Amino acid sequence: MIYTQPQLPYPTDALAPAISKETVDFHYGKHEKAYIDNLNRLIQGSEFEDMELEEVIRHAKGPLFNNASQAWNHIFYFFSFSPDGGGEPEGELGDAIRAQFGSFEKFKEEFVAAGVGIFGSGWVWLSRDNDGRLFITTTSNAGNPLTDGLTPILTFDVWEHAYYLDYQNRRKDALEALWSIIDWDVVESRY
């Protein structure tokens, strides 16, 4: 199977000022392309060659896992945004967040704090288990909640290449800016 990089559903300048065109061009245009190119090279002739990407992530190790997971993580991340995003989730997801975290504001505080607290590079996730319970988790490097049997709903990227051009070392500011571009319709569809 050959994996392809999907075209973003918005122009590369559409997420500014939360994420600049320059960051989208480098982050999605170059970093994500490299992960997909490496994934396609590494998977050829392997036992994973005909697997869906999620199954590769659940079972691969080493460089194949790293590139498969990073390819998936970045698509998941960038396809959570919209230039018309922001606000709060409604419906079942909004109800679950308020029930489990006390309020949407409290959830946002905990989510950002978890992302800020990651040492080095990684991801902060909102995931659910099979019973619909929500979890804020963090993973280092290319980690993904799929490997723990969870279903990812939302992620923020805390690798420096995700925010350094726009925010330098102000990771908290970068994470807080992302709330203004979240496409809650997409995120809720994952719950």
Which of 98, 114, 118 has the alpha carbon at shortest distance from 106?
Answer: 98
| Model confidence band, residue 147 (pLDDT cutoffs 50, 70, 90) | very high
For the chain, list the domains and their CATH numbers. Answer: 21-78 (1.10.287.990), 91-190 (3.55.40.20)
- Both tokens assigned to 127: 């995931």
Give pLDDT tens digits for 65-109. 999 999 999 999 999 999 999 999 999 999 999 999 999 999 999
Q: Per-residue confidence at 3, pLDDT binned at 50, 70, 90?
A: very high
Please give the Cα distance from 179 to 177 (Å, whole number). 6
Instruction: Look at residue 117 and tell me whether its pLDDT is greater than 90.
Output: yes
Task: Tally the residues of the chain.
Answer: 191
